[in-house]
Structure 1
Amino acid sequence: MNKIAVEQAFSKAAKTYDQHAAFQRQVGQLLMNKLPRDLSGLEVLDLGCGTGYFTELLALRGAKVTAFDLSEAMLIECQSRCANLSVNYVKGDAERLPFEAHSFDLIFSSLAMQWCTQLDGLMSSLVRVLKPQGQLVYSTLLDGSLIELQMAWQQVDSHSQHVNQFHLIEKLESAVAQSGAKDAQFNTIEITLWYTSAMALMKDLKGIGATHVSGRSHGLTKPKSLLQVDRAYQRFKTPHGELPATYQVCLGEVTK
């Protein structure tokens, strides 16, 4: 994963992110529902905070939040949203955390881990920075997400990667098992969004910055190729004229 390219994509989308992030808010809210209403006094790391939608909610529950993101532009949007709240802002890579051991009571991370490649190191590092009895709650996309888009692209170009490969649940479970955590829970769910066209789906993905795909030929993202993908996607249309975009999501909890 080219983290510089990922950062550039998300920074470019910082101003449009909230307009296209309905799915991200839906998944993040499922995580918020797992947390106590009162987080007063707790040191909380929002890992992959984006524009700060959940940073704000965590701070409003009383937490002292550290908003952490790969993108400087996303952090600027987060700071604007949370200007009057108890929030600290740190730019960095989740796979190279700059925090000391036992720094946080809680780590909240929604739909950020799929941009990390070394799950074993990531999970061990996250557990390291938790305080004893601290908790990590996270969501991440799993293998099989956006399968319809992947299949449509294969009809247009079967030689290049056009949809990111997401983690296998077995790899995630193995990483948690090796992290030194005391307890872990995994809940996998399928969420389907409905679109009028593949172009509308790809517009949402571009709008949130989820456009970097390792190994993709940029020439094949030209309008002609996108229109071909849009036509290939029609095979999934329901009798009501709707097109599905299916996500496989893991909602996980880890206790140190």
Structure 2
Amino acid sequence: MNHALAENFVAESTDKQAISEAFGRAAQTYDQHAAFQRDVGHRLLEWLPWDLSGCKILDLGCGTGYFSQQLLARGAQVVCCDLSTAMLQQAESRCGTENITYQQGDAECLPFYDHQFDYVFSSLALQWCANLAVPLAEMRRVTRKGGQAIFSTLLEGSLSELKQAWAKVDSYQHVNDFITANQVKIALAQADCKNHHLDLPTITVWYSSAFALMRDLKGIGANHVQGRSSGMTRRQSLKHLEQEYQNFQHNHQGLVPATYQVCLGKINL
């Protein structure tokens, strides 16, 4: 890893243990709440060749192995890597052991040799890293020349409705902050990823209530928020939140929006 990037990571390190534990607690329920995550991952998957026979692919932040299974079905040899051992156990239950291996690891310090993979696939995992340049540099390092690293991450503006509704309730941080598209481009430059392509779709998911949205966030383990108050959220506050959320424009089915700003990235090596 680039020494300057490593120092920056140490200075800005997030609480990886807490993140790992949050996703570990959600390992059993993740698939029930991950419709949005599957949507994004399938968009990313379209960037890979259909026939992956003979290719070695790293599924970085593999979660329960949903996309690892898709990659296996296309003929790839897959390495599943995740911060959470509980998620890896779920992935193994789904995918088995033929043409696939499992490795606990951190995207910011990958436990792999240089130029080991034909492709690296990472969907909605990198937003948990303190400095996007670090995992991007690691993905580039472990990908062979002529290969590709593809990733998705969330951008500023994601969950804006939930953030705005909470702001009417109290002054605590209840929703994580996300980086801008320009910061992604800066991170790519810092990681020396010169040949890249980005798509920036806006995806809206519709819910019956703010509670339903928050159930999904908790169900996938995405409820670890930096800087959040350690106190319990009062029932009255949740009621107030719901009232504020229902002020957003409903669709024809009477559902309220949860907007995600997504970055899909392809790095050619």
Structure-2-length-normalised TM-score: 0.92
1:63-82 to structure 2, matched below 5 A, reads 63-82=76-95
Matched residue SS, 1:249: strand
Q: Distance in 2 between matches of 1:97 and 1:223?
A: 42
| Partner of residue 122 from structure 1, selected from 120, 130, 135 | 135
Give 1:61's match in structure 2, choosing from 74, 82, 88.
74
Tell me how far 1:48 sits from its aligned partner.
Answer: 0.4
CA distance in 2, matches of 1:254, 1:236: 37
Displacement of 1:182 after TM fit?
4.3
Q: Distance in 2 between matches of 1:218 and 1:201?
A: 21
Distance 1:23 1:239, change over 3 A: closer
Q: What corresponds to 1:249 in structure 2?
A: 262
Q: Is the deviation greater in 77-86 or in 241-250?
A: 77-86
1:181 positional shift? 2.8
| Contact 2:40–2:123 under 8 Å retained in 1 | yes
Deviates more, 1:228-237 or 1:25-34: 228-237
- 5+ residue gaps, structure 1, are none
Instruction: Supply the AA of the counterpart residue of 2:128.
Output: W
- Normalized against structure 1, the TM-score is what? 0.96
Asked if structure 1 preserves the Cα contact closer than 8 Å seen for 2:85 and 2:104, the reply is yes
Deviations 1:140-190 (A, max 9, x none): 1001000000000101112x2110011111111111123223410011000
Output the CA distance in 1 between the equivalents of 2:26 and 2:202.
26
Q: 1:187 aligns with which of 199, 208, 219?
A: 199
CA-CA distance at 1:222 after TM superposition: 3.9
Give yes or no for contact 1:194–1:245 (8 Å, CA) kept in 2.
Answer: yes
CA drift of 1:227 comes to: 2.1
User: Which of 1, 4, 8 is the aligned partner of 2:21?
Assistant: 8
Instruction: Quote how far apart the aligned CAs of 1:220 are.
Output: 4.5
Report the secondary structure of 1:107's partner residue.
strand
Structure 2: state its 5+ residue gaps: 1-13
Partner of 1:107: 120
**Kept in 2: contact 1:43–1:106 (CA 8 A):** yes
- Cα distance in structure 1, aligned partners of 2:234 and 2:91: 32
Q: Are 1:155 and 2:174 an aligned pair?
A: no
> 1:173 corresponds to which letter in structure 2?
K
Name the amino acid aligned to 2:18. Answer: A
1:117-145 Cα shifts (integer Å, max 9, x gaps): 11122211211111011101111100100
Amino acid at match of 2:261: Q
Question: 1:171 — aligned with what?
Answer: 183
Q: 1:201 aligns with which of 198, 201, 213?
A: 213
**Matches of 1:191 and 1:18, distance apart in 2:** 19
